[in-house]
Structure 1
Amino acid sequence: MRRLSVLILAAALLCGAPAAAQTAAQAPRPEGAEGTVHREQVWRLSHNADEGREIAAIVFRPAGDTPRQLVVMTHHTSGDAARNGEPRHGVYPHVVSWFVERGYVVAVVHRRGYGLTGGERAERFACRRPNHFAAGRADAADLSAVIDGLTALPFVRKDGVIAVGQSTGGWAAAALAAENHPAVAGTINFGGGRRGRAGDTGQTCALDELVRDARYMGRRARTPALWLYTENDQSFGPELTRRMAEAYRSAGGALDFQLLPPFGRDGHALLPNPGGIRIWGPLVEPFIQKFR
């Protein structure tokens, strides 16, 4: 009997070892020491919807280890492919500081195919069969993976997450609102959208489909959303963005849409440009205060 018990215990340990190793491998892990500015540190997080993939997030946070609300921020897509692979792609220091100074942990998320995450992009698009909604959901899955990983850490609150995105990242934030993630309190879309380009002609395509797919998002979305666009956005003009917002709202999405006056030469740079804070700050502040 004793020998049988030993054999059963040995079998249990052997079966449990891979599971324990797998759990350890999936735990969020930092790379290197914290930096001197806002404790900057790269974290690697397992992707919960793409087996074997990891997402990189550059994390910034205030002093101390008190659990803080999380802001996940994600980037645009550059027309220059090399720039999309830069290790600090989408890190806007003035935006990071604005949130950290208000007590948030900020995670700049490099989606699959970009920056420190690298590898193959999750987005798929064809002008003949455009599906901006599917591309947005793929990017939203990257944000969800980071949210799930970081909210498990002791210095991050498990609720009240704010998602912020610029351009294609703004569209990802809009798509995240439609996923109704339980930890996400609100999303902020700066100049969000996607622009297809025909391979044979090089012409921009499928902008009208943004309206259609904004409607799809609105049908699902119950997470409060703030959309900020400018009248001189050279990527997504005011007539188009009004239609997108109306489609989203009429389908049931909870949306505060703000079409702002012209900003600089191209209002699409409202978030990346430090001068934009004086315009978006007074709008973002009351939106995020609702979730403190």
Structure 2
Amino acid sequence: MLSLKAFLVPVLLMTLWLANAAAEGAFGPQGAEGEPNRAQAWLVPSPDPKVASHAVLFRPPGDGPFRLAVIAHASTENVLLRGQMPQPQYRPLASLLVARGFAVLVPERPGHGATGGQYLEDQRGCDEADYAHSGRATAEEISTALTYLRGQPFIRHDGALVVGHSAGGWGALALANADPAEVSSIIVFAAGRGGHANGFPNQICAPHALVAAAGEFAHGARVPVSWLVAANDSYFSPDFSRKLADAFRAGGGKVDFRVLPAYDGEGHWMAETENGVKFAASELDRALKGPSPPPSARARKP
């Protein structure tokens, strides 16, 4: 059994490292704000103490405090493509959220692009993929960035939103057991991992394992999930996505599953494009009209 000392020492060392790194300016804004939506490069902590995640932060006018939205990007098991990934920005999606009062953070997770470092969310192959591991690793990366931003004076402590796309959506599902006072809702676009197995559309690595992990993520879930998928998604089809959502619901999660009409040539990338976000805007607004905590003693005061 792990001793209390063995548990606390690494936690203490991580806390001290984060404090020192922040004091030395390793985290935070990396340049001036730009347009649109006060776009600004940031560095934020990751679960790997040697790696700071590159990120883009968007904000409404004013000083806040604003509710926070974190957008979790898609990924790939191809190490070369991951290394060449440009900074994810999701500008159209961020613009929609900024217009609705959110400050929006888009962090690039370890193992990707300029962030670099170890790929913590490896699903460990295709035939025997460990989707529970990969999803929880992604969730930890999202949560680390979210926790850091909640410490900023312009961010509220309550009512955060997590939006995930593909592998990012899979990680967002693993956050459904968060404190609903801190994370009030989750929206996922085509959540999953292992799509396009061996490069073939409509083929998924170990689909049974993906369904089982969706049920695991729902244990203790308290945050409602809105699940969106386009009719022509060739990574995670509506029929298969519904199986995932049903497994999540059967495991105790609260999920509102919606199929959107076919979008462009490949619906999987809807969340990344301006027309795709316009296409999904009504469903996004419906999801955002869920329980929204009013300003309270839990909110960050100016």
* Bin for the TM-score computed over the shorter chain: 0.7 to 0.9
Give the structure 2 partner of residue 64 of structure 1. 62
Give the structure 2 partner of residue 15 of structure 1. none
**In structure 1, C-alpha distance between the alignment counterparts of 2:186 and 2:57, rounded to whole Å:** 18
Where do residues 281-292 of structure 1 align in structure 2 (5 Å cutoff)? Answer: 281-289=281-289, 290-291=291-292
| Cα-Cα RMSD | 2.6
Please tell me whether the aligned partners of residues 226 and 255 of structure 2 are also in contact (alpha carbons under 8 angstroms). Answer: yes
The one-letter code matched in structure 1 to 2:89 is: V
The one-letter code matched in structure 1 to 2:90 is: Y
> What is the percentage of aligned positions where both structures have the same residue?
34
Higher-RCO chain (CA-CA 8 Å, sequence separation at least 6) = 2
1:23 aligns with 2:19: yes
Deviations 1:122-165 (A, max 9, x none): 01222343211110110111111111100100111111110111
The one-letter code matched in structure 2 to 1:59 is: L
Please tell me whether the aligned partners of residues 66 and 155 of structure 1 are also in contact (alpha carbons under 8 angstroms). Answer: yes
The one-letter code matched in structure 2 to 1:52 is: K
Q: 1:198 to 1:280 in 2, by over 3 A?
A: closer
Indicate the SS of the match to 2:256. strand
Q: How far did 1:31 drift?
A: 0.8
Give the structure 2 partner of residue 150 of structure 1. 149
1:119 aligns with 2:117: yes
**In structure 2, C-alpha distance between the alignment counterparts of 1:41 and 1:24, rounded to whole Å:** 23
Give the structure 1 partner of residue 4 of structure 2. none
Where do residues 227-238 of structure 1 align in structure 2 (5 Å cutoff)? Answer: 227-238=227-238
Q: How far did 1:182 drift?
A: 5.2
Indicate the SS of the match to 1:205. coil
1:195 aligns with 2:191: no
Deviations 1:80-135 (A, max 9, x none): 75553457432122111111122210101111111332111101222343211110
Indicate the SS of the match to 1:141. helix
Q: 1:180 to 1:66 in 2, by over 3 A?
A: closer
Q: Which runs of 5+ in 1 are unaligned?
A: 1-18
**In structure 1, C-alpha distance between the alignment counterparts of 2:103 and 2:141, rounded to whole Å:** 18
Q: How far did 1:232 drift?
A: 1.4
**In structure 1, C-alpha distance between the alignment counterparts of 2:18 and 2:265, rounded to whole Å:** 51
Give the structure 1 partner of residue 52 of structure 2. 54
The one-letter code matched in structure 2 to 1:105 is: A
Q: How far did 1:206 drift?
A: 1.1
Please tell me whether the aligned partners of residues 18 and 45 of structure 2 are also in contact (alpha carbons under 8 angstroms). Answer: no
**In structure 2, C-alpha distance between the alignment counterparts of 1:112 and 1:21, rounded to whole Å:** 18
**In structure 2, C-alpha distance between the alignment counterparts of 1:242 and 1:98, rounded to whole Å:** 26
Indicate the SS of the match to 2:215. helix
Aligned residues: 271
Q: How far did 1:21 drift?
A: 8.3
**In structure 2, C-alpha distance between the alignment counterparts of 1:21 and 1:264, rounded to whole Å:** 46
Give the structure 2 partner of residue 34 of structure 1. 33
Q: Which has the larger radius of gyration?
A: 1
Give me the TM-score of the superposition, normalised by structure 2: 0.81
**In structure 1, C-alpha distance between the alignment counterparts of 2:195 and 2:106, rounded to whole Å:** 25
**In structure 2, C-alpha distance between the alignment counterparts of 1:25 and 1:158, rounded to whole Å:** 22
Q: How far did 1:180 drift?
A: 4.5
Please tell me whether the aligned partners of residues 46 and 52 of structure 1 are also in contact (alpha carbons under 8 angstroms). Answer: no
Give me the TM-score of the superposition, normalised by structure 1: 0.83
Bigger shift: residues 254-263 or 160-169 = 254-263
Give the structure 2 partner of residue 248 of structure 1. 248
